[in-house]
Amino acid sequence: MKNSIPNTAKISPSDFVIFGGGGDLSTRKIIPALFWRFVDKQIDDKSNIIICLHKKTKLETLLNLIKPHTFNSIKSDETLQKQWNKFHKLLTLITLDLITGDGINDLTLLLNKNSNKKQICIFYLAISSNLFETTCNLIRKSNLNSLHSRVVVEKPIGFNKVSAIEINENLYKTFKEEQIYRIDHYLGKETVQNLMALRFANTFFENQWDNKNIENVQITVAEEIGVADRISYYNEYGAIRDMVQNHLLQLLCLVAMEPPSYFDANQVRDEKLRILKSLRQLSDDDIQTGQYQGYENEFGKSTNTETFIALKVNIDNWRWAGVPFYLRTGKKLSTRASEIIITFKNKPHNIFSKLKDFDKKTDKPNMLIIRVQPNEGLKLKLTSKEPGPGGMRFFPSELNLSFNETFIERLPDAYERLLMDVARGNQTLFMRLDEVLAAWDFIDPIVDKVQSKPPQLYRSGTMGPEDKILVKNNHEWIDPKE
């Protein structure tokens, strides 16, 4: 039987101010997310969405940009079309030059209308981090920051630890830590949150969750797309800063952290921080990088930027000593899939091994596959007996929980959940400053190593260069299956 996604609690009326409102992030993710929360009545018409644009733009033009990322069949679905039309009434466009401050009075007027109602105000900095300082100064000097304001910033926070500190010092001139929401959208993904439910709302797995029972952990975030028009940004950051410093390390933290006493923002983040601080520094042998063929042509000149990276990470604590965590991510790979695979230790002794028709290939360890996207779900790989008489023959079977099939409606995008958490003032799924800095402490030395040798070339549509890390431990990558 399919379940519907439970109703969500309405948020208090809020002003969402999006700086960089005409950009990619805003039109592809933020505004569509707000629309869906409006459709589900979590946002009502007392909320306002103020879209700050660099150039004067007509609402119609902006809506045409947003529409394809919101829903495709807009014309065929009358109810959605009606909601879409109602949603427009929440939107106000203003032209604002963040450098000169031209247009700030329009924003001030709009926000002051609601200031006596103590309306929550969310400033979303959907802009490059080199504009954070001027934007925050503008907010402060125009007295737009109040007890009810929050600010949202995107990863990557900085380019390394030093620049992350600088960015935060600038944020702190205007906002307090409790007002700052550092988004890592992977934390808003349904299956990622389900990982916490799996571990801490059940006893079954948690009892097996350590070095006595687990052989290795693999985290793969594979993308089919290349870097396209983001190449100037990407070439500076590479896969290590763009994906590993944030998304992959956050996934690793959720797999490895100790149970917090309560599901409370600071307790969850304290536990993640402990993991980040327990990561052993990597040696050259633990790092493999790749670049897809044709990347240099796209960039226009020779470059060593990695579009693929694989790492072997060790966590120096009692629970995980001796368990390798293999992380890999890359662009232009053969598939788009993110998976966390926990391979359990194999049986200490196989009682079936002396049977006449015993097939060694069926002597496989159990595996838990957490499919983050697409086709979100969980699979537990088991060995079962083939049905029927004629001895004990085995076949690989699986317990399969597919969220797509279990829930009738579409799974909400990560930004929907995260934006509502900002409005509710819940920082659990956002990164605290000390976490960001601890992640850079681990990443900065890896960047130096990555840059010291050229990446191996790999063909687009493969899973990256041939493995050189796992093989040394008699392990192998398990590629995502459809």
Q: Which is nearer to ligand BG6, 223 or 339 (CB)?
A: 223
Q: Does residue 242 interact with ligand BG6 by CB under 6 A?
A: yes
Closest CA to 343 of 248, 246, 215: 215
Q: Which is nearer to ligand BG6, 27 or 119 (CB)?
A: 27
Which residue number places its CB atom closest to ligand BG6? 242
Shortest spacing between CB 222 and ligand BG6, in angstroms = 9
Shortest spacing between CB 334 and ligand BG6, in angstroms = 16
Q: Which is nearer to ligand BG6, 185 or 312 (CB)?
A: 185
Q: Which is nearer to ligand BG6, 192 or 311 (CB)?
A: 192
Q: Which is nearer to ligand BG6, 15 or 223 (CB)?
A: 223
Q: Which is nearer to ligand BG6, 242 or 339 (CB)?
A: 242
Residue numbers 158-187 binding ligand BG6 by CB under 6 A: 185
- Applying CB under 6 A, among 190, 223, 376, 435 the residue interacting with ligand BG6 is 223
Reply yes or no on whether 54 is catalytic: no
Q: Does residue 306 interact with ligand BG6 by CB under 6 A?
A: no
Q: Does residue 190 interact with ligand BG6 by CB under 6 A?
A: no
Alpha helices in 29-131 (DSSP H): 31-39, 59-70, 78-88, 104-115
Shortest spacing between CB 183 and ligand BG6, in angstroms = 9
Burial 118-139 (b: 16+ CB within 10 A, else e): ebbbbbbbbbebeebbbbbebb
* The CA-based dihedral angle spanning residues 454, 458, 463, 464, taken in that order and rounded to the nearest 10 degrees: -10
Closest CA to 155 of 188, 112, 197, 203: 188
Distance CA 477, CA 333 (A): 14
Distance CA 475, CA 326 (A): 10
Residue position matching structure tokens 């969850």: 268
Q: Which is nearer to ligand BG6, 272 or 332 (CB)?
A: 332
Shortest spacing between CB 142 and ligand BG6, in angstroms = 30
Shortest spacing between CB 242 and ligand BG6, in angstroms = 5
Pairing between β-strand 48-53 and β-strand 91-95 as defined by DSSP bridges: parallel
**Total binding residues for ligand BG6 by CB under 6 A?**
3
Under 8 Å between Cβ of 241 and 447: yes
First to last CA, the chain: 23
Residue numbers 13-52 binding ligand BG6 by CB under 6 A: none
Q: Exposed, middle or buried, 455 (CB in 10 Å: 0-12/13-18/19+)?
A: buried
Query: What are the phi and psi torsion angles at 130 (to 5°)?
Result: -75, -5
Distance CA 47, CA 402 (A): 35
Residue 165 belongs to what H/E stretch?
Answer: helix 161-172
- Collapsing DSSP to helix, strand or coil, 312 comes out as strand
Active-site residue among 54, 88, 185, 247?
247
Distance CA 417, CA 28 (A): 15
User: Residue 473, CB half-sphere, CA atoms under 13 Å: how many?
Assistant: 19
Query: Token pair of 274, please?
Result: 């402990």
Shortest spacing between CB 149 and ligand BG6, in angstroms = 25
Shortest spacing between CB 247 and ligand BG6, in angstroms = 6
Which positions are annotated as active-site residues?
Answer: 247
Residues of the shown chain interacting with ligand BG6 in the complex, contacts defined by CB under 6 A? 185, 223, 242
